Structure 1
Amino acid sequence: MLFDEVEVKWKWTESELIKFRKMWKDGASIQQIGKELKINKRSIGLLVIDQAEQGEIKPRPGGCLGNKKKQDLSLLLLKVMMKSYIHWDKPNIDTE
């Protein structure tokens, strides 16, 4: 099961929610938020869903990754694409 081996935090204090919302708005990743609040990423992920459904937080460009530089994401995408291209067996296409 999804939650069998990981403790999930189901109840949050008002101060934790305020801290979470501020960090989300400031662009912190769920990993950074979890580290700051001393809560596992799965609990933070569930909190993201809850707070989004309640309209307490808004979608953001980096999603759960936070404010990653576009350059970093572009470089990662390029690396993935190049790795895929290198391992891709190009079909033998006859042009006749």
Structure 2
Amino acid sequence: MRNATSYRTTVTGRSVVSYGPSAHVDGDGYVLSFSTDAGRVEILVDERAMYDLWSEVRGVPWPEATHEQDEHDRLVRRVLHAANDADTAMLREMLRTLCAEPY
């Protein structure tokens, strides 16, 4: 692992979290930015890491989410993880099953 140093900071008070394309990462990269009263932290990630992060947090519920929403989001994450590991034939079968129509 390159740059294996770990840093930890605590975000308190009002903060802004943003993300977008970054020219500082080889190929297609992104920057996650955390701006707080104490300063700004930027995390550079490549396209795959950003996709994994986006897939993971997409289904993470808010604290007040209902049980049904929690279960739905957990199942969506499981489907995404399964799709990421599937080959082409498996993906076609998933689409046939989920969409109830030929692919």
Question: Which TM-score bucket, shorter chain as reference?
Answer: under 0.3
**Structure 1 or 2: more helix by fraction:** 1
- Structure with larger RCO (C-alpha < 8 A, sep 6+): 1
Larger Rg: 1
| TM-score w.r.t. length of structure 1 | 0.27
